[in-house]
Amino acid sequence: MKKKIYAEKLNTPTVQSHRSFRRFIRKMFASLLKRQNCESQNNFQATVLEKLQDIGDSIEIMAREMARQSKRGE
């Protein structure tokens, strides 16, 4: 009687590396930022800073509300 040999399966699946894709995206963004003129870059930075400030304000409002609810025991 022949003995069957089975290949053991690894428990950890291997994940394909996307390093080249990430490098490509990074280069695209770098070239995009280089091509923008100074005025549009300043407008872009102002818009980003404004949105970050809005996010910060929202987080602060949520933190205050959570503190109020915890004091009430809800």
**Predicted confidence (pLDDT) at residue 63 exceeds the cutoff of 80:** yes
What is the DSSP secondary structure assignment for residue 21, as one 8-state letter? Answer: H
Q: What is the dihedral of CA 69, 53, 22, 19, to 10 degrees?
A: -50
Please spell the DSSP secondary structure of 38-62, one letter per residue: HHHHHHHHHHHHHHHHHHHHHHHHH
Contact 44, 36 (CB under 8 A): yes
- Write down the domain spans for the chain: 38-74
**Predicted confidence (pLDDT) at residue 49 exceeds the cutoff of 60:** yes
Q: Which two tokens stand for residue 74?
A: 């809800």
Quick: pLDDT tens for 22-35.
788 788 878 777 77
The mean pLDDT of 5-19, rounded to a whole number, is 62
Specify the pTM.
0.42
The mean pLDDT of 46-54, rounded to a whole number, is 89
d(CA 58, CA 51): 11
3-state secondary structure of 14: coil
